[in-house]
A and B are shown apart, each in its own frame.
Chain A
Amino acid sequence: MRAVRLLLFVLGAAATAYGGWLLLPQLGTALPWLIGGPALHDALVAPLVGLVGLALGRLVTDRRRRAWIAAGLLASATLLLIAVPLLWRPPSAPPNPGLPDRDYPLGLAVGLAVVWAAIAIVLVVATAVDRRVTHRRSDSR
C-alpha cells in the first residue's frame, strides 16, 4: 500500500502542477469561478440543506416517507441546477438566433412535475399498504 500511495502522490502532484501551469495565463479571470463553488456551497448551500433537513425531520416523522420526500427535494434541486444556464442567459452568449431551440422553462416544469407525481404515487401506495398491514394485524388479534 505504501508504494501505491507514494505513486499516487507523485502522479497527483505532477498532474496538479501541470494543470496549474496551464491555467496560469488565465488564473486572474478564472479565480472567482474557482473559489465561487466551494464558497457558496460551504457558507450557504450546506447550512441551508441542514436546516431543510431539520425542518423535514420535525414535519414528517415517518422515516420512509421522509426519505422519499428528501429524494424528491434532491432531484428537484439537481434539475434546477442543470436548468440554470438554460434559463439565465447573460448577453455574452454569441448572437446566434438558432441556438436555444427548446422551451426550457416548460422542460423544467415537466421534469419537476414528473418527479413529484412519482413521489406522490409512492407515498399514496405506501400509505395504502401500511393501512392494510395494520388492518390485518388488528383482524388477527
Chain B
Amino acid sequence: MIRRARIPAPEDFTASSHSPLVAARLGLWLGVAFGLCFGTGLLSHYIQHPPGWFSWPTRPVNLYRITQGVHVLSGVAAIPLLLAKLWSVYPRLFVRPPVRQPIRLSAHALERISVLVLVCAAFFELVTGLFNVAQSYPWGFFFPTAHYAVAWLVAGAVLLHVAVKLPVARAALKTPLRRNAPVAAMTPGSDDSVERRAFLRTSAGVAGIAVLATAGVTVPWLRRVSPLAWRSAAGPQGVPINRTAAAARIVVPPHWRLEIVWPGGRRTVSLPELAALPPRTAHLPIACVEGWSASAHWTGVPVVQLLRWAGAPTGRPVRFTSLETEGLYAASTLPAAHASDPLTLLALRINGEQLSPDHGYPCRLIAPSRPGVLQTKWVARLEVWR
C-alpha cells in the first residue's frame, strides 16, 4: 500500500496513550510537580529578596534545605512527566483550525497561544534549572531573574490551561482507567485500558527513577545510591565549596579586625579576641539554592552574644559584608529572627579545624534555615540596622 506523504491528522494516531484519560492524569501529576516547584521557588525568592510582610522561621534548622530539595527534585520528576504528557497529547498538535468560523477560530487561536506559552515556559524552567544545578550557563540572560519571571509564565499558563480543559479533565478523571470485568469480557482483544495503565505506570516509575538518580545531592541516605547527583557531600574539611577564595579575589589583611557598627556606636575586634569569646558548636547545613546540601559542625561565637559583648543592640536585622569587593553575594542581610537565634554563629572553625581560606577564613556567617549564598564568607563588617 502506497500512501502519499501528508501532514498527519489527530485520527492517524491510534496508540491508546493518546487519550484524555491519560492526558488528564499526567496533567494532574505535572500540576502537582510544577506547583511544588512554584511554591518552593517563590519561598526561596522571598528569602533572598524579602518583601516587608515576609518572614521565614529559623527552625527547623533544615527547613530551607528541605524546601529547596523539594524544589529541585520535583523539577527533576517533572522531566519525564512533561515528556509523557506531550506524547499523550501530541496528536492534538495536528488539530485543523476551524477556518470558516471566525469566532471559533479566534478562540482556537487564543487557546493555541496559551498552550504554546505553557509548553515553552515549562521546557524553559526545566532546562535552565537543570543547567543551573550543574553550574553551567550557556546563555546570555541572567539565570535567577529569567527563571523567576518564566515561573510566573508557567503558573499563569497552567491556570489558563486548566480553565480551558476543566470539563474534559473532570470527565476524564471521573472515568476509571480499569474497565469493569463484564465490559472487558464482552470486548476481548485489544484492551486499551491495560495499555493506558501501563503507560501511566511507566511514566510515574520513570519519574521515581529520575528522583532516585539525583536525590543524593541532599538526602543523606541516598548519597551512595544516586548516580547522577550533581554534587557530592564531600569537600575540603568535609563540605563542598561553591566559590573559592581565589575566585572571589580574597586577600586577608595582616591586621584583620572585624568591624561592628550600629546606630550611634562602633567597635572592632581582632581574631584572637574573637577566639577568646565563649564558643558554641552547632550542627548546621550549608543548603545551596542549587539543591545540594551538606551539614557540618561549626564552632564560633553566636552573633547575638557578639553583639551583646560589643554593646550593640540586638533583635534587629544585621548586614554582613565580606572582604569580597564585588559580586552579588559580597553582602547579605540577616533578618532579626536569625540574628537573635543562639545557633546563628560567626564561625571560626569547621568540623574541629580552623576555616580554610575557601571556607571563609578568618570567619564566616552560618545561620539555621538559610540559603548557602546568604551565608557570607570572609566577613569584614557587621552593621546593625535600626
Contacts and interface: CB of A to CB of B under 8 A. Distances in A.
- Do A and B pair up? The answer is yes
Interface of A: 1, 4-6, 8-9, 11-20, 22-23, 26, 29-30, 33-38, 41-42, 45-46, 49-50, 53, 63, 67, 70-71, 74-75, 77-79, 81-86, 88-90, 92-102, 104, 106-108, 110-111, 114-115
6 contacts: A1-B167, A22-B149, A34-B120, A75-B209, A78-B83, A79-B210
Contacts of A86: 134, 228, 230
A26 B155 contact: no
Given A22-B152, A108-B228, A46 B90 contact: yes
Contacts of A100: 134-135
Q: What is the size category of the interface that chain B forms with chain A?
A: 35 or more
A70 B134 contact: no
Contacts of A84: 130
- What are the nearest 5 A-B pairs in CB distance? A37-B123, A19-B152, A12-B159, A15-B156, A16-B156
Given A71-B205, A99-B135, A36 B244 contact: no
A75 B166 CA distance: 30
Contact of A26 (B79, B86, B130, B141): B141
B227 A107 contact: yes
Contacts of A101: 231-232, 234-235, 240
Interface string B90-132: 1001000000000000000000001011011111100110110
B152 A18 contact: yes
Interface of B: 15, 76, 79-80, 83-84, 86-87, 90, 93, 114, 116-117, 119-124, 127-128, 130-131, 133-142, 145-146, 148-163, 166-167, 170, 194-195, 198, 202-203, 205-206, 209-210, 213-214, 227-232, 234-236, 240-244, 247, 358
Given A18-B156, A29-B139, A34-B123, 14 more contacts: A12-B158, A12-B162, A13-B160, A20-B153, A23-B146, A41-B86, A45-B83, A79-B228, A82-B130, A82-B210, A92-B138, A102-B232, A110-B227, A115-B209
B157 A53 contact: no
Contact of B149 (A5, A19, A82): A19
Nearest to A2: B166
Contacts of A50: 90
Contact of B128 (A33, A63, A97): A33
A29 B160 CA distance: 26
A78 B204 CA distance: 12
Contacts of A34: 120-121, 123-124, 150
Contact of A85 (B131, B150, B244): B131
A102 B127 contact: no
Contacts of A94: 135, 247
Nearest to A42: B93
B228 A82 contact: yes
B347 to A, nearest CB: 19
Nearest to A106: B227
Nearest to A107: B227
Contact of B163 (A5, A77, A89): A5
A93 B227 contact: no
A40 B128 CA distance: 15
A38 B243 contact: no
B153 A96 contact: no
A81 B79 contact: yes
B202 A74 contact: yes
Contact of A33 (B124, B130, B206, B231): B124
B163 A8 contact: yes
B210 A9 contact: no
A98 B292 CA distance: 14
A93 B116 CA distance: 30
Contact of B79 (A36, A38, A82, A92): A82
A63 B148 CA distance: 44
B213 A111 contact: yes
B242 A96 contact: yes
Nearest to A45: B83
Contact of B137 (A53, A67, A93, A104): A93
B136 A85 contact: yes
